[in-house]
Amino acid sequence: MQIAGLFTVTVEASLLILLILFIRRMFGTKLHPGVMKCLWAFPALRILLPFELPVEVRWLYAVHFPPERVLVWIWLAGAAVCFLLFTVRNRRYGELLKANSEIYGKKDGVLVYFVDDNIGSCLKGLASPKIYISRLAENSLDWCKWIVKHELSHYRAWDNWYVLLRNLCLIMQWFNPLVWYGAECCAEDCELACDYRVTRGEDKEGQIVYGRCLVAMAAKKPKEAFDNMAMGSSLGKGSLKKRIEQLGREKFCPAALEYLLIAVLAAAVLFCFLGPSNTDSDVLALLGRHAVI
């Protein structure tokens, strides 16, 4: 096993993201939201595991790049700054929640709090997450019920850990606009998958109430003084419209096609882990002593 160059990882991750964006554009909401969310794990896997298995075959060629120490420091400095910003903003957001919260109760072992209406509802934390409900929903038991159910769905699907992995990808590829755009699309797909889980099996009336809750929360969207890293939820106008249209959808692409798309992405990412033999083990390999083409 050897370290894959940063250039190699960047190119391969970008190609995987472009492939997913093509699938997303091609099938839209016809693809099951859970499957769409699953596909984003493949480029994340490539970014977070920058290794490859050396293979001696003719159809793999090595493209060499001169190692520039200054580029290594630029990448490390950018990653450090990005990590620091994420950490500081997340900590400030946590302090803001703690300072403006009031206990509401407990649901399925998870503590639920009310927070000021200028903050917003979210699931916050990793090992022992807590649910925070905006006071905008305080006077509506229906809204409180749906928000708690929504955040519990995120919790059961481990979406809080999914966000951590997404942020790590952004730190590793801070210079790559495709990764930032992919992270935004991934956040939207996580919300669509959560909406599906929450409303699955509900009658039409329940889906309508849930949709109204989404619209109301978006209409009075809290000020974004801090980036909410808790769930990375996407509630832009385009995203909200897409989420509302998706509610109640039961018919999706054939399961065989969905399995085929997952298999294609899995094969693509496995191919990315193959590389030409390279005896260099210097740290400068991070910047792409070689790239597989």
Confirm whether 292 is domain-assigned. Answer: no
Arithmetic mean of pLDDT over the chain: 82
Confirm whether 293 is domain-assigned. Answer: no
The answer for residues whose C-beta is within 8 angstroms of residue 89's C-beta and 6 or more apart is 226, 227, 229
Q: What is the pLDDT of residue 131?
A: 93
Confirm whether 89 is domain-assigned. Answer: yes
Query: Residue 239 — very low, low, confident or very high, per pLDDT cuts 50/70/90?
Result: confident
User: How big is the CA angle at 285 (ends 283 and 290), to the nearest 5 degrees?
Assistant: 170
- Per-residue pLDDT of 249-269, as tens digits, reads 778 889 899 999 999 999 999
Confirm whether 189 is domain-assigned. Answer: yes
Confirm whether 76 is domain-assigned. Answer: yes
Q: What percentage of the chain reaches a pLDDT higher than 70?
A: 82
Tokens of 284: 């400068």
The answer for residues whose C-beta is within 8 angstroms of residue 155's C-beta and 6 or more apart is 110, 123, 129, 131
**Mean pLDDT throughout 19-32?**
90
The number of domains in the chain is 1
Confirm whether 177 is domain-assigned. Answer: yes
Give which of 224, 275, 214 is closest to 245, Cα–Cα: 214
CB 170 within 8 A of CB 82: yes
> How far apart, in Å, do the first and last CA atoms of the chain sit?
19
- Residue 63: pLDDT above 70? no
Give which of 26, 28, 39 is closest to 264, Cα–Cα: 39
Q: What is the β-pairing status of strands 101-107 and 110-115?
A: antiparallel
- DSSP string over 57-118: -TT--B------HHHHHHHHHHHHHHHHHHHHHHHHHHHHHHHTEEEEEEETTEEEEEE-TT
CB 132 within 8 A of CB 122: yes
pTM: 0.83
Confirm whether 22 is domain-assigned. Answer: yes
**Mean pLDDT throughout 180-195?**
92
Q: How many whole angstroms separate alpha carbon 190 and alpha carbon 109?
A: 23
Residue 45: which domain range? 2-287
Confirm whether 173 is domain-assigned. Answer: yes
Query: Residue 51 — very low, low, confident or very high, per pLDDT cuts 50/70/90?
Result: confident
Q: How many whole angstroms separate alpha carbon 281 and alpha carbon 5?
A: 11
Q: Which residue has the higher pLDDT, 100 or 216?
A: 100
- Residue 225: pLDDT above 90? no
CB 129 within 8 A of CB 165: no
**How would you list the strands of the sheet with 274-276, edge to edge?**
2-3, 51-55, 274-276
SS3 label, residue 222: coil
Report residue 278 CA to chain centroid gap: 33
